[in-house]
Structure 1
Amino acid sequence: MPASPRYPRSRWLVFALLAGFGLWWDLYSKWLAFDTLGYARVPGDRQPISEPWFTWLWGRNVLYISTNFNYGALWGFGQGWSLGFAALSILAAVGITYWLFVHGAARSLWLTVALGLVMAGTLGNLYDRLGLHGLTTHDGTPIRAVRDFIYFKIIEWPIFNFADSFLVTGAIMLILHSFWHDLVERKQELLPNETAPPIANP
């Protein structure tokens, strides 16, 4: 039986604020990093990198800003499939909206927040994959790739952006929700059936 689509109207506002503000912050932070440091206009050129932004207590440099283009997915997977991932992002955005507000998942505030974050990350990276940032190579070719700039050099973590952070946070929330949902269902299965009719004495 399909789930009821009824949900509090405030869920639309929660979702829109998270997705909208997350998208704005992602695009603004990318613009600020690339406008300040510049970027490698010729493939293979050295990536611009800032002075360390954060130093650990023991004097080790932790956080840098380094502009980089990612032609694949999260953490550099699937290089060269930027337009393919753009198409998947569009499908994901449609699917998220349908699941929340047609299927009724928005009844859960947890899911609304999680999918709001996923939507923000999806749209932020989709904007870049379509080349809407307007950046080009040295010969004027539009760069249709995701702009990354957050670099944790202390552990050599792949360079990422806030959209990636929103996607990962939302995905973790979805996994936790799934585990919790399964746990509740198993607990209910173990409870005695209180509505069963009493057994007659022989």
Structure 2
Amino acid sequence: MAEAERIIGTPEVGDEAQPEPEAPRGRRRIAALLVVAAIAYLLDLGTKMVVVAELEHQPPIRIIGDLLRFEAVRNPGAAFGFGEAFTILFTVIAASVIVVIVRLARKLYSLPWAIALGLLLGGALGNLTDRIFRSPGVFRGAVVDFIAPAHFAVFNLADTAIVCGGILIVLLSFRGLDPDGTVHKD
């Protein structure tokens, strides 16, 4: 009888074994999100510090012939330089994205979603840091971009993290995987 109760999950009286709660699994996913976000943020911040110190006001550095170069550019707008007059709006949007990710993290039980949201969070924090602390002033700061592929916009590691996180979210959504770990078979 004890074996049957163990299989169906009915604990015996005085049985010390308790089912493992879901909270530790959720905490591990939140920890994964925070680790990914911290790595993305610190890599972005570190590269921008090097670019400002060593590359700003210098000629571009060719990495792969004419295909790729590093060139310091200050971007007050959004991706591709659009919306230069809306720097404050982009700051508010980035702050809102961060709040949404933090709120969503409470219901996070999927490691792939933790990685995707961590990339978004780290990238948003990286560009938000520039908008708050870089010239010309608080909430009007220009983002430091430096990766310049031929025939494409100049971007930074925060932008890369945001794009990779967004692509991962689209793929997870197509597969029917929700942040809480449930899978939808449509």
Equivalent position of 1:166 in the other structure: 161
Name stretches of at least 5 consecutive residues in structure 2 with no aligned partner.
1-21, 178-182
In structure 1, the residue matched to 2:142 is 145
Match of 1:76 among 76, 81, 85: 81
Residues of 2 paired with 1:50 and 1:151: CA distance?
A: 9
Q: Which runs of 5+ in 1 are unaligned?
A: 40-47, 56-60, 187-202
* Mapping of residues 20-59 of structure 1, within 5 Å: 20-39=38-57, 48-55=58-65
Aligned-CA RMSD value: 2.1
Report % sequence identity. 28
Q: What displacement does 1:184 show?
A: 4.4
Aligned residue in 2 for 1:179: 174
SS for the counterpart of 1:85 is helix
Letter in 1 for 2:110: S
The aligned residue for residue 91 of structure 2 is: 86
SS in 2 for 1:52: strand
Cα distance in structure 1, aligned partners of 2:59 and 2:160: 20
Q: Is the 8 A contact 2:116 2:166 kept in 1?
A: yes
Q: TM-score, normalised by structure 2?
A: 0.77
Partner Cα separation in structure 1 for residue 94 and residue 37 of structure 2: 14
Name the CA distance, whole Å, in 2 between partners of 1:30 and 1:167.
Answer: 16
Checking the alignment, whether the CA contact within 8 Å between 2:76 and 2:87 is kept in structure 1 is yes
> Corresponding residue for 1:199?
none
> What is the rounded CA distance, in whole Å, between the counterparts of 1:49 and 1:13 in structure 2?
41
| Residue correspondences, number | 158
| TM alignment of 1:96-107, pairs within 5 A | 96-101=101-106, 104=107, 106-107=108-109
Distance 2:163 2:128 in 1: 16
Equivalence for 2:130: 128
Deviations, residues 84-143 of structure 1 (Å, cap 9, x unaligned): 111111111010011121xx1x2011110000000000000001111x14x45xxxx777
Indicate conservation of the 8 Å contact 2:44/2:156, yes or no: yes
Contact 2:30 2:105 in 1 (8 A): no
| Aligned-partner SS, 2:69 | strand
Match of 2:147, SS? Answer: strand
